[in-house]
Structure 1
Amino acid sequence: MSKRYFIELAYNGRNFHGWQIQPNAITVQETLQDALKILLKQKIDVIGCGRTDTGVHARQFFAHMELDLDTIEISADQLTYKLNRLLNNDIAIFRIFIVNDAAHTRFEALSRTYEYRLRMDKYPFDQEFTYRSTYPKLDFELMNKAAALLFNYTDFTSFSKTGTDVKTNNCKIMQADWKNVDGVWIFTIKADRFLRNMVRAIVGTLLEVGSGKIDLNNFTQIIESKNRGNAGWSVPAHGLALIKLEYPDWIYSV
């Protein structure tokens, strides 16, 4: 009998056009499904906890699939090991574990947390995962004040990619702040859900606050306008990573 399994994984997004399968492009989803087909000799559909844009990384990501491991005669640990042997170094499989049959990696997620890494100085050893600011100076105290204003709103149309097929642009933000860690400015944002391109657009707009291009009143007006054209630019993808997801306890009841 088939059962539902979660896959916990991480990936370096540099060589992928995001998570979701798309024509004529290499994606994480397709790469993972191809590896499973080689190992299990059958097509396995893998459903991700969300989409990541081209070049965005994931330090924690979940996907689910239906498997009958008894018939295949392989354990979850063995499958984890074999996948890691087969996949290149851009993807790591941490574990594969059985969950409640009703559990869905996307719809059951209680929260998602992203980090955006930014440096003000030139430093060659983390440039693959950290964006170097083009602004000579930024007021991070003011940027944190602007980030705190996000808690006052739920509609983030102004920071969403236009033309997406979502039913609502409402999100509940639970954390949004900048902190300096060993010379790297890290913007951490946590919410129940995110819109396409939302984090990168928020960061780009916060940089305009920090550079003095817009003030806190302008930032509020941008959110309330519900117009993507009024917000700032989208910062480069390579500085962004999905770092954590939270799920309810019931998904582990099998």
Structure 2
Amino acid sequence: MTRYRLDIAYDGSRFHGWAGQTGLRTVQGELETWVGRVLRLPEAPVLVCAGRTDAGVHARGQVAHLDLALPEPDEVAAMLARRLRRALPEDVIVRRVTVPPAGFDARFAAIWRRYAYRLADGPADPLQRHTTAAVRATVDVGALNAAGEALIGLHDFAAFCRAREGATTIRHLQHLHAVRLDDGRVEIGVRADAFCHSMVRSLVGALVEVGTGRRDAAWLAGLLGAGSRSSEVPVLPAHGLVLEEVGYPPDDQLAARAVEARARRDQEQLP
């Protein structure tokens, strides 16, 4: 078996998220179907991605891998990339197909995922309506950034996550910063080792509460001790969110990182 890395971008507007679901159009389902067809495989392969995106969320830098038992791997990679570019629908593209170094795992070898959320707090450009969420009050970017500093680090983000049985909500938030773009929109960038379900949209929802003056910084910081999903945290619309990039360690550290990432975190590891 040879492992192949796929670098993928998609417009999530007409997808029910990444993960395959019977009877629904998903990114994983679309890609697995077309990979199987263009390579004439007896059954569709299984793709593993760096981060499952929700329905309506977009991606510029999604990464996935699949394993195939075919000869001449480099030729297979080139052929697969070429054929997928012709076959896939216009809202998803495979930018590259490569044979990665030993130890590569799209999900577990990743050391961070970077997302951007874009919102408009003034007159919205109708051409951006599928990638920008509208808010009805002016956002104070400085206040948002000052409050967001309390969230950076290793914390239990349960207040911002939809619960999943057996899944930890402890994450290391590495970067969080908002900027006012030249076109007037606000872009909030977040980077973490991983994100739990709906975490980014909930983080941004809470930050907007502070940035628009509806809540204060103490409220935001206090959410870290909640221990469970907070009904006070709004979840912003999916279409404003884009998975921009996934980061991996040097080649000789890929396998070790994959082992480390599989270890479950618990409360005792928090500072």
| TM-score where L is the length of structure 1 | 0.92
Tell me the distance in 1 between the aligned counterparts of 2:213 and 2:181: 23
Query: How many equivalent pairs are there?
Result: 250
Counterparts of residues 87-236 of structure 1 (less than 5 Å): 87-121=88-122, 122-135=124-137, 137-151=138-152, 153-162=154-163, 164-182=164-182, 183-236=184-237
CA 1:181–1:150: 2 relative to 1, 3 Å: same
Please list every run of 5 or more consecutive structure 1 residues that lacks an aligned counterpart in the other structure.
Answer: none
**Which residue of 2 is the match for residue 14 of structure 1?**
13
Identity %: 31
C-alpha offsets along residues 88-123 of structure 1, whole Å, 9 cap, x if unaligned? Answer: 111111111112343210000010000000112221
Task: Give the stretch that moved more between structures: 225-234 or 60-69.
Answer: 225-234
Coordinate RMSD, CA, aligned: 1.9
| Partner-residue secondary structure (3-state), 2:127 | coil
CA 1:73–1:113: 2 relative to 1, 3 Å: closer
Tell me the distance in 2 between the aligned counterparts of 1:214 and 1:33: 44
| TM-score where L is the length of structure 2 | 0.87
C-alpha offsets along residues 38-89 of structure 1, whole Å, 9 cap, x if unaligned? Answer: 1111122211112100000011011111124426995322210110110011
Tell me the distance in 2 between the aligned counterparts of 1:71 and 1:190: 37
| Partner-residue secondary structure (3-state), 1:118 | strand
The one-letter code of the counterpart of 1:92 is: I
Tell me the distance in 2 between the aligned counterparts of 1:73 and 1:8: 16
CA 1:202–1:231: 2 relative to 1, 3 Å: farther
C-alpha contact (below 8 Å) 1:40/1:72 kept by paired residues: no
Tell me the distance in 2 between the aligned counterparts of 1:96 and 1:29: 16
The one-letter code of the counterpart of 2:50 is: C
CA 1:210–1:73: 2 relative to 1, 3 Å: closer
**Which residue of 1 is the match for residue 30 of structure 2?**
31
Task: Give the stretch that moved more between structures: 244-253 or 67-76.
Answer: 67-76
CA 1:243–1:108: 2 relative to 1, 3 Å: same
Tell me the distance in 2 between the aligned counterparts of 1:195 and 1:92: 25
Q: Which runs of structure 1 show a deviation greater than 3 angstroms over 4 or more consecutive aligned residues?
A: 71-75
CA 1:239–1:251: 2 relative to 1, 3 Å: farther
Tell me the distance in 1 between the aligned counterparts of 2:196 and 2:98: 28
**Which residue of 1 is the match for residue 265 of structure 2?**
none
